[in-house]
Amino acid sequence: MARKKKSNKETSHIVELTDNIHIEGAGSLVEQPITQTLTKNYMPYAMSVILSRAIPEIDGFKPSHRKLLYTMYLDKLLDGKRAKSAKIVGDVMKLNPHGDSAIYETMVRLAKGHEALLNPYVDSKGNFGKAYSRDMAYAASRYTEAKLAPICNELFGDINKDTVDFVPNYDNTMTEPTLLPVTFPTVLANITTGIAVGMASSICSFNLKELCETTIEVLRNKDHVIGDTLLGPDFPGGGYFIYDREALEKVYETGRGGLRVRAKYEYDKKNHCIDITEIPPTATVEAIIDKVVELAKAGTVKEVADIRDETGMQGLRLTIDLKRGTDPDKLMAKLFKQTQLEDSFPCNFNILVDGTPRVMGVREIIEQWARFRIECVRRRTAFTRDKRAKQLHLLEGLQKILLDIDKAIKIIRETDEEADVVPNLMIGFGIDKVQAEYVAEIKLRHLNREFILKRTRDIEKIREEIALLDAILESKSRIKTIIIKELKAVMEKYGEERKTKLLYLDDIAEEEVEEEIPDYPVTVFFTGEGYFKKITPLSLRMASDQKLKEGDRVVQSLETTNAKEVLFFTDKCQVYKARISDFQDSKASVLGDYVPSALDMEPDEKARYMVVLEAYKGYMLFAFGNGKLAKVEMSAYETKSNRKKLIKAYCGKFDLADMMYIPEDTEVVLTSSSTRMLLIDTAMIAPKTTKDTQGVAVMRQKKNQNVESIRLYNKGEFDKPYRYKTKNLPALGAFPSEEDVGEQMTL
């Protein structure tokens, strides 16, 4: 035991130990500024965590990963049989001074059986748990076996050719690489997450084929658009990546952002249940089950009868039994919004480059990896060149001996001291010490012309090889060509199809949860100034006279229901979509809603025409002043996302005279400023799916004349309708007869 030594000085504190060792200041409390404490104690710890623990380096590995893989490489587990995991963990302790459990957990995550990595580095045998389950624990290290996966050939192929630096391990008994000379951008090939002190890293994985192809294109063209070849993240658990080009480009450019991933499901009609087979990488089966049960108990999700985990040898399977009458797609749309069945993968591409943490976009990461790989190839080439130069040097010395083998034998025989053999050969043939040592070590049986000729035959070939290696060292473009060739080889050997499929925003709109909209009869009114009113039958019976702005008039009115969709075409070739339910019930005594304000239209933009739809069937007719008529299918305005605004709703190259909606082909009347009228059947006009089509010429116009309107033809409206019809288009039309003019006036 230790006891405090008595002292009259309050500032002197000495602890006396039983073995008479004294430590100054032990056991005392010392006041110290917090800034000094942070500088001396906390900052070194923070730097150690950032640089040596949590943040990956440009080769894609954290130190713990690198030490594990390199130890397995030294244990010859790249091509050999699997070894017990416990043995591997024990060997890793020579490089990684941590507990066996921490090392084994690292191995588990890198293992193929754990299914955490898109391109696993450890070929495992036994129970390694599952990344998608928090309760499915991995077996102890004594029960499992492992070796390096074939893709690790791309990590260690050049490691013995001076491609990377080596440093001593923690006890100076061996050396380890500071980085691995990877032949492809491993940093983007697998998910890597880590939390350091004051910063974190979260890198999603990308498909190996797409990644290598993108790297090749960036090496060839620095202005290559990343999104053209790198379509999006690819996760080991599959699922669907919701393709949002804007969000994806933000991640590619800044290295930060969120990417949405949703589960894959199938509806079993026979058993009336949903089978979920793939989930986002950030989710676990247990968390999803807990949330669904919670929602069911709260009454938020009433359609679920039961939910259970049926994961087995075939892989993940989460089954949801449905109540009678449940629409599986609508239920899943609701669960996507309220559970981890759809989740966002947070991207924070924080990577150590030259000992400094940097958040980089994909292009910068590839460029930094290319810089690292160029140095690796340069060092490898220099290593090979030096090796060939030494071989050439020895063969050149041997070639000189070839001129007089007998002289060499005579020198060796007549030398009294063994130590003088090398100097005598050097003097006798004019060679250096290295060459002389090589000649002196040749066996007696090899001192013949045939042997020496065979050995020196490749001198010219080696000289050519050295010249080629020198050319590579002097040319950065040649080194890039080598890197591209290696990337193509990686694509061919290990490239696979995407596991995470792309799901475009337009394709998921139908699955969105729609609020229950009360549906009841209404009458809608649209005025020339752009005001909209919906009035219930009861209110309309109480007061039918519509209040309008001075000079305004009702141009469209129809009876419909509250749940219908309404489209407003504007004078700027755009269409805005809404539901009638988006507008408040009104009365005849008020002006109503001003459509440009209600739908956030552009400044000075005005609504010209209203279309009320239940389904996107029928056609839009656009009559232009020059006599052309465009017939556009309504399906062209249908979107699978909730877009409220569509541009290029009709052709803006010509002056638009009039427009109208027809549910099916019918007869319409075009009227010109010359008072000519043309009666045509719209079936004569071919429909287009392109919204801004220019249409076809229908009504010929003379100078300073133009089409003014288009309207439905009422049967019996014309006394002699054949006068206004024609077999061929375009046509001039006909002036109205006195009978038709009178009828028109009556109308």
Catalytic residues: 143
Neighbours of 728 (CB within 10 A): 6
Residues 64, 68: Cα–Cα separation, whole Å: 6
Q: For the chain, first and last CA: distance in Å?
A: 117
How far apart, in Å, are the Cα atoms of 485 and each of 228, 469, 488, 690? 21, 16, 5, 44
Is the bond preceding 730 in cis, omega lying within 30 degrees of 0?
yes
Backbone angles phi, psi at 39, to 5 degrees: -65, -45
Residue 569's closest CA among 651, 454, 466? 651
How far apart, in Å, are the Cα atoms of 678 and each of 674, 723, 740? 12, 9, 13
Neighbours of 698 (CB within 10 A): 25
Residue 332's closest CA among 303, 298, 362? 303
Helix, strand, coil shares of the chain, percent, nearest 5, are 35, 25, 40
Neighbours of 142 (CB within 10 A): 11
Residues 123, 117: Cα–Cα separation, whole Å: 12
Residues 78, 152: Cα–Cα separation, whole Å: 7
**CB-count burial class (<10 Å; 0-12, 13-18, 19+) for 212:** buried
Neighbours of 258 (CB within 10 A): 14
Residues 546, 553: Cα–Cα separation, whole Å: 9
Contact 150, 121 (CB under 8 A): no
The order of strands in the sheet holding 696-697 is 656-662, 619-624, 628-633, 696-697
In 26-148 the beta strands, taken as DSSP E runs, fall at: 83-84, 122-125, 145-148
Residues 34, 218: Cα–Cα separation, whole Å: 48
